Structure 1
Amino acid sequence: MPDTIYDALRESHQIQRGLCRKLLRSKPHTENRIATFTDLRIELAAHAAAEERYLYAPILMDDMGLSSSRHALHEHHEVDELVEEMQEGDPASRGWLATARKLSKKVHHHLREEEKKFFQVSGKILSEAKKLQLAKQYRRDYKRMLKVLRED
């Protein structure tokens, strides 16, 4: 079966879920906590950039997808704000872990909503050929963004 944009996105979603679980289980004052947060931060940013370019933008151009695209973009912004707050905080503090829990909850909510609602709306808008084309474009940009973000 050919690879669609949804297959590509679900792979990253699984990585995000796993990193969120790993982060919440990490111990304070450990390199593992910092490394896991860094991995999650990079994964979220690379995924969001490529997803916004190769799924949200085309759906935003269709009246039927306008509301759901705007909502998804807003949730990406909320995730970005939580990540930024964590970057400025102390990974050993209780407040930092509380923010990590909020981030995990927000990420899980967004992924669930995207997979259950947004994929269905966008699936009605996009042709099968477009879903295949977007998968290739998304994967290429996602890999490029991972590389760029790891170099920062």
Structure 2
Amino acid sequence: MTAATLYDALRESHELQRALLRKLLRSKPGAEQRIDLFTVVRHELAAHEAAEERYLYVPMMMHDGGLSASRHALHEHHQIDELIEDLQALDPAGSAWIETAKALSKKVHHHLREEETKFFQVSGKLLSDSSKQKLAGQYRRDYQRMHRMLAAGR
């Protein structure tokens, strides 16, 4: 399905992130499935973050009214990245790993909810309808490119 606007494209990834995190939290300690799911989650978050930063946050930062919200969202992406790094250093069979995974899920869910209920409304007022459609295509292409790059590097 091709997204009509940038927000449609972003929501598709948001729904995938929510589903993947639910599966990850239900995975068995030490199971191969947990490690594989974590790789999928890591790649999805990284691809989404990179494309979203380029095609939503950067255009928003070009408007005075979008600076604060963009900075806040970038900060949350950084926090998510740090939790991913923490998980990579932990034993996937250990209790610290699942606690950190829960913290990651909570942070991602908070970020997505905030983005969908606040940030999309702010940016929706600042970006033109034609730019939202153009940015959707750019986001989608970069998101797919990032997925290919991450899969190649695993």
With the shorter chain as reference, the TM-score category is over 0.9
2:147 corresponds in structure 1 to 146
TM-score normalised to structure 2 length: 0.97
2:82 corresponds in structure 1 to 81
List per-residue Cα deviations over 1:89-117 (Å, max 9, x = no partner). Answer: 10000000000000000000000000000
Specify whether residues 117 and 101 from structure 1 end up closer, same or farther in structure 2 by C-alpha distance, changes over 3 A only.
same
Correspondences of 1:68-147 after superposition (within 5 Å): 68-147=69-148
Counterpart amino acid of residue 96 in structure 1? W
TM-score normalised to structure 1 length: 0.98
For the residue of structure 2 that corresponds to 1:91, the secondary structure is coil
2:5 corresponds in structure 1 to 4
Point out where structure 2 has 5 or more consecutive residues left out of the alignment. Answer: none
1:42 corresponds in structure 2 to 43
Q: After TM superposition, what 4+ stretches of structure 1 lie above 2 angstroms from structure 2?
A: none
Superposed displacement of residue 61, structure 1: 1.1
Counterpart amino acid of residue 149 in structure 2? V
List per-residue Cα deviations over 1:63-113 (Å, max 9, x = no partner). Answer: 000000000000000000000000111000000000000000000000000
8 Å Cα contact 2:60/2:126 also seen in 1? yes
Superposed displacement of residue 2, structure 1: 6.7
8 Å Cα contact 2:3/2:9 also seen in 1? no
Q: Matched residues, percent identical?
A: 66
Counterpart amino acid of residue 32 in structure 1? Q
Superposed displacement of residue 29, structure 1: 1.6
Superposed displacement of residue 127, structure 1: 0.4
In 2, Cα distance between the equivalents of 1:142 and 1:24? 24
Q: CA RMSD in A?
A: 1.0
For the residue of structure 1 that corresponds to 2:56, the secondary structure is helix
In 2, Cα distance between the equivalents of 1:140 and 1:2? 12
